[in-house]
Amino acid sequence: MSTIVVNGTRVRQFLAMRECIDAMERALRALTRGHAVVPLRPVVHVPGETGGALAAMPAYLGDPKSLGVKAISVFPGNEGTAHDSHQGAVLFFDPDHGALVAIMDAGAITAVRTAAVSGVATRLLANADASDLALLGAGVQAHSHLEAMRAVRPVRRVRVWSRTSARAAEFARRYYASDCSVTAVASAQEAVEGADLVCTVTSSREPVLMGDWLAPGAHLNVVGASVAAAREVDTTAVLRSACFVDRRESALREAGDLVIPMREGAITESHIRGELGEILDGTGQGRLTPQEITLFKSVGLAVEDLGAADIVYRRAREDPDVPRIDLR
């Protein structure tokens, strides 16, 4: 039995954003319905200065039937070096016999599926005419989030802020000749004020977004911090928002954006209105009024990786140019 090896370039070629958004809907609905097995992820924090961590994310997903594990390292200090901040592999198994049928680049899968999940949240929660987008962060996720936001809403204006102003300027330059005008701005506040859609996609451990800046009716995708001790948005942002998550159990353990306000006593668990899967399933409520601010806190789930990996695997299997290896 051979194992297909799919590198990052091919993952991107096989995994179109719109198709991935639909796949994320299926995966999140299956999760809410109990058609998935997803243990909380163990994380090894590497001692020393790097701030590096290694996470193992196994799962079984019932729709489409799939089994696998993502092993991914996150080294935030890698920015600006030859190494990506997210590196690893998705090991994809035959769910009937347990054979390892594919190995795929996890960085590319993560880049697309994370933004696709924010695409699902935005499709469910943002006002239909939301067109003014703020991006806080200018890295891998900022690019894929711009693509996802444009897939689900009529985005017309984009402001990008990044800690290093040259990085924001470089981001804006990449879209200069495209049909999407992106302006680099000097402060996060300038980006956020007046925006209908806000994506926070930084590696910051402290808030980069203050709730006082938010316009009524805004929708936020809060993506960056995935550990309980770090957050990208302040307590006011959470208090002003109706909050949604990918999975309650994971968010209550891993989402500092929610866990820290809970520890402060500012909110309780009931401040989380629902999981995306509950809205998709018709058992949960989304936005209640056009003026309401909605906040989706993403921590990232292994079922999302499996839903994306299934698309990649089906394409790769049909492509004779994709390499095969025999591990035995």
Which residues are at the interface with ligand NDP (CB under 6 A)?
74, 79, 85-86, 110, 114, 137-141, 162-164, 167, 201-204, 208, 223-224, 226, 298-300
Tokens of 160: 């990008």
If the CB atoms of residues 101 and 158 are measured against ligand NDP, the closer one turns out to be 158
Closest separation between CB of residue 122 and ligand NDP, Å?
Answer: 14
- Cβ distance to ligand NDP smaller for residue 122 or 226: 226
Helix (H, G, I), strand (E, B) or coil at 64: coil
CB of 320: closest distance to ligand NDP in angstroms?
Answer: 32
Residue environment code for 1-36, b if the CB has 16+ CB neighbours within 10 A, otherwise e: eebbbbebebbbebbbbeebbebbbbbbbbbbeebb
Categorise residue 51: left if φ over 0, alpha if ψ from -120 to 50, beta otherwise.
Answer: left
Supply 157's token pair. Answer: 């204006």
CB 220 within 8 A of CB 293: yes
Closer CB to ligand NDP, residue 203 or residue 241?
A: 203
- Closer CB to ligand NDP, 188 or 311, in the complex: 188
Please say which residue, 101 or 198, places its beta carbon nearer to ligand NDP: 198
Cβ neighbours of residue 225 closer than 8 Å, sequence gap 6 or more: 204, 205, 231, 232, 255, 256, 257
What the block records as the tokens of 254 is: 């891993």
Q: Which is nearer to ligand NDP, 4 or 309 (CB)?
A: 309
Residue 90 CB, nearest approach to ligand NDP (Å):
13
Query: In DSSP terms, which residues pair with 36 in a beta bridge?
Result: 61
CA distance 116 to 221: 11
- Least Å distance, CB 284 to ligand NDP, is 20
- In whole angstroms, give the CA distance from residue 140 to residue 147: 11
Give the three-class secondary structure for 268. coil
CB of 274 to ligand NDP, least distance (A): 18
Least CB distance to ligand NDP at residue 202 (A): 4
Taking the C-alpha atoms of residue 215 and residue 232, their distance in angstroms, rounded to an integer, is 18
Q: How far apart are CA 247 and CA 31, in angstroms?
A: 8
The residue number whose beta carbon is nearest to ligand NDP equals: 139
Q: How far is the CB of 309 from ligand NDP (least distance, A)?
A: 15
- Which of 201, 267 has the CB closer to ligand NDP? 201
CA 175, CA 133: separation in Å to the nearest integer?
A: 14
Nearer to ligand NDP, 9 or 164 (CB): 164
Q: Shortest distance, CB of residue 298 to ligand NDP, whole angstroms? A: 4
| 272-275 and 132-136 strand pairing | unpaired
